[in-house]
Structure 1
Amino acid sequence: MKKWVVALLLTVLIVASGYVVYQKSDVMTSSPWQRNVPLSSISKAITDKQNNLYVIHNSKKSIVKLDPQGTVLYTIKTNDTLSDIHSFNGLAVDNEGNLYTSKMTLDPYGLVVKSERIVRFSPTGQEEDSFFPLSYSNPAEAKRFRYGSLKSLDVQNDVLTFFVENGDKVTMYRMPTGGELGATPQPAGSWQLPAGKFVAGVVGNNANLVYITARSGEIYRINDGGQAEQIYPLTGVDRTRRNFPEQLQLDKSGRLVYIDYNAQAVSRLDPAQPYVIEALLTVEKAKQQGIDLSFEDMTGISVGADNGLITMHEKQIIRQNPDGTIQPPIVEGSYASSQIFYKWLIWAIALVGVLLLGIAIRLFYLHIMLRRISLMLKQMMVFIPIIVGSMILLSYFIYTDFTEKMENETLSELSLLARNGRNLIDGDKLERMNSPLDYKTADYKVFRQKMDSIFEDTGDNDDGGFYKALYKYENGTIYRMIEDADDVNMFNPFPKTPKNTRVVELGTVETDQWQDDTGFWMYAIGPIFNSSGKVVGVFETSKNMEGILQHRQKILRNIIQTIAVITLVLLAIVLLTSYYILSSIRKLRNSALAISKGNWETVVDIRTRDEVADLGDSFNVMAAHIRSYIAKVTRVSEAYYRFVPQQFLRFLDKDSILDVELGDQVEQEMGILIVNIRAFYLLSKRLTPEENFNFVNSYLNRFGPFIRNNDGMINKYQGAGFMALFPKRSDEALLAGIGIIKELEIYNAHRASCNYAPIDMGIGLHKGPLRLGIIGEEQRLEGNVISDDVYLASVLEKITEPLGASILVSSYIIDSLQAKSSFQYRNLGLIRIEGKDEPLQLYDVYQGEPDTLRALKEKTKAKFEQAILLYQVGRFYDAREAFLQVIKANRQDKAAKLYFYLCDEYFQNGTTEDWNGTLSVS
């Protein structure tokens, strides 16, 4: 195939894969290994008649639909910009599965609502329609913080219902859900609260069933005459004025459900019996069913399609069935197999694109660059990082210094404003506020005016990310009183923190910063005193730094872009100048390239009669020396690497064997593996000396690679075997041993085909500290290992045969395995080693043994290890019977037989006085 055809095909494939990845960039934002979608910062959750769950989470940035099994059906996300932040608020779903939500546009700080509208999504999550837009850009209108005026989206009987709140008035709008796209909701009624009352929430699905909560804590029902009639709290009801009903919902039976944070309960009120208030869900009720319920992180409630209760928390959703039972919390959704496959497909396309790009670069390097890298390109590789790195580093230092200075100034400003709160807020008047009835009283309005006066209005409805809050401290509890956020009601308990505790107890001004899903915040809190000097409140001023950070990052990007342009111009000038100067070096480059390819007879011919020509002559002399030196070094290197492993030199921190000196040593913890041929003496007696050498070399050549392939080093050959060291993971040492045992079966089969007797091997594996070094005298050096643990490994190898094990390892190996579950082994108990005071816990690794034997050991493993435990506690009769069962199942089990006879001996005659549950093997 012609080169241009290959180039064209590669280009088309790279562009196609890039286009697919660009179009599906949202899929690339999560790993293909991610099978679950964790729910966080949950604000709303509803269900439909098919029990599908719709959740607004991720700080109102995402909507996820889950089926009854928790599988993700679709995900909808907002698209934020540098100037606007978008969020979802409110959910409703019709019988066809179409989803309705209000989508808000906020300022860059995520505080002030600029506009909102209702959006409809299809049952597959595709946006179909957008209607009923509301704008709050008029500076004359009151600011809306975080929440707009659209309230309580609901679908009942194929009709979408929602409300528009305007201070003390609400208007209901209704629209059929089955109509054509682009339909306009029509007003169905408008109601006014009594004088001095302001809307906090509203529910209802037709003009005859509307309930409104007031900011002062009452619930009003719109009667037949269109008047607001108070139904909560009534005189005699067991509730205080601080039991504020929040997140008002309407169940299928016409009863009202709401959160009472003061009572730490989700309550239910039947308007037909307004004097009876039922605690539908409390911490105690949840605890009785094993559910950890917290009202501090509860963000809202809703009534499901089955009339059950749904409570939303920061990171979980708890559903209560109509009969009162509570389902396990929902903390995440899971992707379906098809979705995971789709993600893998997109990632595979991206990977293919990268590989194709790599192939294209390689072909360009081979056929266009002809395996050469231009010196000019090298200059670019040097100058570009230096120039760009220096510029970026300088910009970074300027940026960070500016940021740090701004943050310090912001904290100082906030601290000063928080300290000034004691002058703005009259503590005695704050102390007189006792319930939500004080909402928009004269004192409340004064406080609000003084708080708003801290940051003068710029005229564009933007406070620059500043946020203000006032809290009351009473009887050890901090209550929210006045905040910029429209969703905060008076006398809502606020969690205590070390910072606000110091404020209310010590009267100090505290500053801090935090980062959450809404951005990066800095705040200061100061005490509010009454006339007697007692702390009665806390004043907070905070600032959202996200907008400023985005602005600074934009400036930084502009600086970097300018630096990049300047850098490119400078590089172009340097490269054009260098091109002419470096032309005489190209011949030298070509000759050096030829030598690098192994053409040692290359001679460079440069006639420029300058320094480069001198360099060419020196190059020719150097090339001759290199030819001679390389030939010599190659022979020496090939020779000594066969005698001294390179790993040994690396352990001693030596680059070459020429650097090794007598006494060089290092201590390190390693795995020690000793392999030996059993009955080698008898085997060698039947062979001539030459046959012995041939056999040993053939044997070592067969099994030695298993050590190297698992990052091990053969330290010493021991005639019938060898000792190997493993400086890294114990898993590698054990894999090497298993590989050797598996290969032994193949090796013996080959020997049998040649009429040779099979061989048997034992492997001992232990881990411990050892010292590697150079021993000998000046004229004769040798690398060696000194360690008591080498002796233990040797002992383990020797007792493999009486214990019927191919591989015998100590507990030091087993305990250090990173993938224990991938190995097959069994506990052999505590073995007494001659010359050692403490017994050693040993394990029989049978993973590499023949299939039949391995299956028998695996089958009897549990019974064998149970018998070991019985033996160690002195229950010899029970242990003997258990070992007998093992022997019946596996008559080749030497360890079981050894234990069986020993248990029988101890049961018949008793143990010695110094018996300690160990086994002695000789």
Structure 2
Amino acid sequence: MKVKFTTLLLAVVAIAVSLGVFRDYWTLNPFKNEAGYTNISRVTTDRDGAIYTITDSKKVIRKVDASGKLLYSVTSDLDSTPNAIKLFGSVTADDEGNAYALVTILDSFGLHVFGERIVKISPDGSKKSTIYAVDYQASDNLLRVGNIQSLSAKDGALYFFRKEAHAASLLKLTTTGSADRGQKPEVLRTVEMSENRYLNELTGNDEKRFFYTTKRGRLFEVNEGNSVKLYPQTSDLLLNFPVSIVSGGDYVYFIDYHDAAVKRMSLVKPEAPAESVLPFARLASVSDKEEWSDFTSIYVSDTAVTVATGDQLIQLTLKGEILSYKTGYHYPKLAIWLKLGYWALIAAMGVLLPMLVRFVYVHLLRRKLFLLLKQLAIIIPVVLLFMGGLSYSVYTSFSGEIKKNTESQLKLLAGNGKYLVNGDNLEKLNAPSDFMSEDYQTIKERLNGVFSQDGESRDGLYNTIYRYVDGQLYILMDDDDSVTMYQPFPISEDNLPVLKEGKVVSGEWEDSTGQWMYALGPLYNAKGDIIGIYETGKDMTGISKSTSALVIKILKIIALIGGVLLIVITLMTVYLLSSINKLRRSVNLIASGEWDVKVQIRTRDEVEELGERFNMMASSIRQYIQEMTKLSNAYFRFVPQQFLKVLGKKNMTQIRLGEQTNRRMTMLVCNTRSFSAFSKTLSTDENFRFINSFLKEFGPAIREYGGFTSRYLGPGMLAMFPNEPEEALKAAMKLRATLETYNVHRQHSGYEPINIGVAVHTADVMIGIIGEEQRLEGSVVSTDVELTLELEKLSAKLGVNVLLSENSIRSLKMPPQGAYRKLGSFQLAEESSTIELYDVFEGDPEHIRKLKQETKQSFERAVELFRSGRFYDAREVFVSVVKRNRYDLAAKLYFFECDRYFQEGVSEEWNNALKIS
């Protein structure tokens, strides 16, 4: 019965956890293999043809390969920053397939920018790391977009622009090696702006030449620090505004919303007019679902132009011919199986959960159980059920009420827009060139003053003003700093009643910039004509978070009430069980040392069972104490005394989870070489006997010199020496001596001899207790532990039996006793730094030791020639070493590298070290 209950309970818990972990694979239709793009805001490609898009209103980055298969989806909630909305602002990719995304951190209303992060995403999307971070103050008053833009990757570096009040800087971050958020970007070029030139967008990654636009609709080229206007080419009053600029080849591309086209300017012939690469008319011939306002982003590669609209991607030749039209992507087969697996888990939960409930209420409650447990088994589910129902009712009621109140507030503000915006000032704004004019600033200051004296505290509200001219609607100003002036806006069924009838309307919509609740009100001139629309609204994400935060507070109160109710019921039950007082008095006697106490309870319930268990407990305490004494003598076999001494503890009872100390210690790794091949010749039983035999023979050498074994590595071990590094070196020599004796015994028994490799390294390590309260373990935490393990593997490639790092050599009070030689500087495949190594061959077989001693001087001289770049000379010396000692693998490795470098030359990144893969 217990086994069945435990199995059911564990199965239900495991399925519940799995449903939470894999919740992203929930879908109503697991057989659906394709999905469409929604609300694309940015697009880029890499050299393999993979497409990276920022979709779902800036909340998701998707990578799709050239065949249209989804490789990964990454959401903008990459960390647990509280009370914040995180949106992707820009994305780029390098030649290795890594993506770099700009994450904008906004307040809970989705309006004020508090910070920006640049995140690196691995080619498969499994690893995300922040490589640069910047925080802003509320006084910066950045709305919707921050100061960083236009990420681009080139030659192992990431380039981006940082906007300032009257300047723009091109910055560079190194992305190879150990890139982390603490590094500071290199400023390649800073361009100062005149007072009437308001920055909008920047693009490019060449410090000598890049491009930018201004809020007044001008496109400039920066060449050697000097700004030259490229567009417009006339001084006439134009409504055209270059948006989403990107440079490629001999052109700079941009979106012109006024002409409803993707255009480009020639950099070779700057006097030539801008040509249309993709006019809306051609796009409409491919898909009748598009609108001219759907253009959102452009990316130009060496061979193609990729244009993003709201829900589609159009790839063109550099001449503007349409190559492909992508509306979505398909899932990999693994994702389909995972979705089906998720439904299988749901089905399993639907079967097992009723079984568990039935088992609890039909079988367990019929058995002799504590009355308190029986009561709680009934009360807790009932309370939880009512709390769940109440929570759902509260959530739906509050969310609906908050939305209703917000809508009323927005309509009131929108209706008052005609009093806030002076129509005469609005009519004087006739083109993007009027940005920040006196009339513009008058309107802007009036709007800011409505929300607070300083214009910063907005409670999440945004403002947008539209100008209605000649039957066309234009965006004139917006709190989103990325929105341009006189950007055309479609007239729809939502805003037409405002323009024609002067009504105040409200609604909700979602586009590539986000999800919004809004209200629209008419704006009038002095004659009473409708000349525009005033829009105010809130980010729906912020509204949802505000609703959730309020509901969570209410739920906490409900949970507190439920908890108090359960406590009261429990206390009343305990009070009624007065017989338990007899048991308490008997427990006090036991505590005073009277082991012969017996309690007599005849209540025929759980209290009587407790009395019987109490009597059994009293009779077994003495036996328990004896067992504990045995255990206290045995635990040192699992936790070495030296480990406790390092932590400053006397026994295991003083150990607590999380205790740790930082010590400089010497690590020794000893391992059996070629064990994988050797173990295949043995049975499972023979493998275990060999490993235990090996550890039995070689373990004492560690303890003899004050070390302790931190970890077993099969037929090997990781040992720590908290005292002097000389002790570790002596232990290494002892291990070599033990090997000779051990192999003699093996030969006498008819077994093949074995060989071991030893690596010794000294470094600072963190030693302490890890695990959880029910399972503790002593552990050593340090990257140098892994380095020592790698050095042991390296020793086999170098033909070295005892490999010593320079850290250990320098830590020795005296040079190593016996024969040794300097191997030179090495760079491991996964490491960017180098390490100096030494071959201690005192414990090598006699003939090897003799050969190494004879060639030591030549070997070390050849190493120095190699490090100085004299590869021909070094190669000749290594040849002589190999001829004298054909067993010298290190000399052979050096010989081949010298020959390769002599033939091919070295790269600029060569660091005078021998790189080992």
Where does residue 332 of structure 2 map in the other structure?
A: 336
Where does residue 94 of structure 1 map in the other structure?
A: 94
Q: CA deviation at 1:314?
A: 2.2
Q: Structure 1 CA distance, aligned partners of 2:519 and 2:467?
A: 16
Where does residue 300 of structure 1 map in the other structure?
A: 297
Aligned runs of 1:51-66 on 2, under 5 Å?
51-66=49-64
Work out whether 1:84 is the aligned partner of 2:84: yes
What letter is aligned with 2:31? W
Where does residue 130 of structure 1 map in the other structure?
A: 130
Q: Structure 2 CA distance, aligned partners of 1:363 and 1:414?
A: 55
TM-score (normalised: structure 2)? 0.56
Change over 3 Å in CA distance of 1:140–1:494 after alignment to 2: same
Work out whether 1:504 is the aligned partner of 2:495: no
- Unpaired runs of 5+ residues, structure 1, are 581-922
TM-score (normalised: structure 1)? 0.56
Q: Structure 1 CA distance, aligned partners of 2:404 and 2:120?
A: 45
Work out whether 1:472 is the aligned partner of 2:467: yes
Q: Structure 2 CA distance, aligned partners of 1:363 and 1:63?
A: 46
Q: Structure 2 CA distance, aligned partners of 1:507 and 1:367?
A: 71
Q: CA deviation at 1:272?
A: 2.3
What letter is aligned with 1:208? K
Q: Higher mean Cα deviation, 531-540 or 178-187? A: 178-187
Where does residue 232 of structure 1 map in the other structure?
A: 231
SS at match of 1:211: strand
Change over 3 Å in CA distance of 1:167–1:29 after alignment to 2: farther
Structure 1 residues 10-36: Cα deviation after superposition (integer angstroms, max 9, x where no partner): 555555555444443433477643433
Work out whether 1:208 is the aligned partner of 2:208: yes
Aligned runs of 1:608-757 on 2, under 5 Å?
none
Q: Structure 1 CA distance, aligned partners of 2:384 and 2:178?
A: 57
Structure 1 residues 419-450: Cα deviation after superposition (integer angstroms, max 9, x where no partner): 33223322122111111111111111111111
Q: CA deviation at 1:263?
A: 0.3
Q: Structure 1 CA distance, aligned partners of 2:173 and 2:515?
A: 40
SS at match of 1:543: strand
SS at match of 2:322: coil
Work out whether 1:284 is the aligned partner of 2:281: yes
Does the aligned pair in 2 maintain the 1:376–1:578 contact within 8 Å?
no
Q: Structure 2 CA distance, aligned partners of 1:112 and 1:61?
A: 17
Q: Structure 2 CA distance, aligned partners of 1:152 and 1:517?
A: 17
Where does residue 322 of structure 1 map in the other structure?
A: 318
Q: CA deviation at 1:53?
A: 0.9
Change over 3 Å in CA distance of 1:82–1:347 after alignment to 2: farther
Does the aligned pair in 2 maintain the 1:35–1:340 contact within 8 Å?
yes
Does the aligned pair in 2 maintain the 1:82–1:550 contact within 8 Å?
no
SS at match of 1:329: strand
Q: Structure 2 CA distance, aligned partners of 1:409 and 1:339?
A: 42
Q: CA deviation at 1:127?
A: 3.0
Work out whether 1:534 is the aligned partner of 2:529: yes
Does the aligned pair in 2 maintain the 1:109–1:546 contact within 8 Å?
no
Where does residue 247 of structure 1 map in the other structure?
A: 244
Change over 3 Å in CA distance of 1:116–1:528 after alignment to 2: same
Q: Sequence identity, in percent? A: 29
Does the aligned pair in 2 maintain the 1:457–1:463 contact within 8 Å?
no
Structure 1 residues 104-159: Cα deviation after superposition (integer angstroms, max 9, x where no partner): 211112222111111111111133431221111x2332x22221111111123443
Where does residue 154 of structure 1 map in the other structure?
A: 152
Q: Structure 2 CA distance, aligned partners of 1:383 and 1:118?
A: 51
SS at match of 1:296: helix
Q: Structure 2 CA distance, aligned partners of 1:255 and 1:518?
A: 27
Change over 3 Å in CA distance of 1:500–1:297 after alignment to 2: same
SS at match of 1:502: helix
SS at match of 2:130: strand
Where does residue 26 of structure 1 map in the other structure?
A: 24
Aligned runs of 1:515-530 on 2, under 5 Å?
521-530=516-525
Where does residue 420 of structure 1 map in the other structure?
A: 416
Does the aligned pair in 1 maintain the 2:41–2:512 contact within 8 Å?
no
Where does residue 549 of structure 1 map in the other structure?
A: 547
Q: Higher mean Cα deviation, 198-207 or 388-397? A: 388-397
Work out whether 1:74 is the aligned partner of 2:72: yes
Task: Please point out which of 417, 426, 432 is paired with 2:428.
Answer: 432
If you compute each CA radius of gyration, which structure gives the higher value, 1 or 2?
1
Does the aligned pair in 1 maintain the 2:257–2:488 contact within 8 Å?
yes
Task: Please point out which of 545, 565, 583 is paired with 2:563.
Answer: 565
Change over 3 Å in CA distance of 1:277–1:518 after alignment to 2: closer
Does the aligned pair in 2 maintain the 1:108–1:546 contact within 8 Å?
no
What letter is aligned with 1:52? A
Does the aligned pair in 1 maintain the 2:98–2:123 contact within 8 Å?
yes
Q: How many residues in Structure 1 have an aligned counterpart in Structure 2?
A: 570
Aligned runs of 1:749-898 on 2, under 5 Å?
none
Q: CA deviation at 1:281?
A: 0.4
Q: Structure 1 CA distance, aligned partners of 2:378 and 2:486?
A: 65
Where does residue 702 of structure 2 map in the other structure?
A: none
Structure 1 residues 672-708: Cα deviation after superposition (integer angstroms, max 9, x where no partner): xxxxxxxxxxxxxxxxxxxxxxxxxxxxxxxxxxxxx
Structure 1 residues 373-432: Cα deviation after superposition (integer angstroms, max 9, x where no partner): 999999999988988787887887777776666555544443443333223322122111
SS at match of 2:278: strand
Does the aligned pair in 2 maintain the 1:201–1:248 contact within 8 Å?
yes
Q: CA deviation at 1:41?
A: 1.6
Change over 3 Å in CA distance of 1:334–1:200 after alignment to 2: same
Does the aligned pair in 1 maintain the 2:41–2:513 contact within 8 Å?
no
SS at match of 1:242: coil
CA RMSD after TM alignment: 3.7
Q: CA deviation at 1:191?
A: 0.5
Q: Structure 2 CA distance, aligned partners of 1:290 and 1:456?
A: 46
Structure 1 residues 236-289: Cα deviation after superposition (integer angstroms, max 9, x where no partner): 8xx8521100000111x1311110000011111112222321110012223445
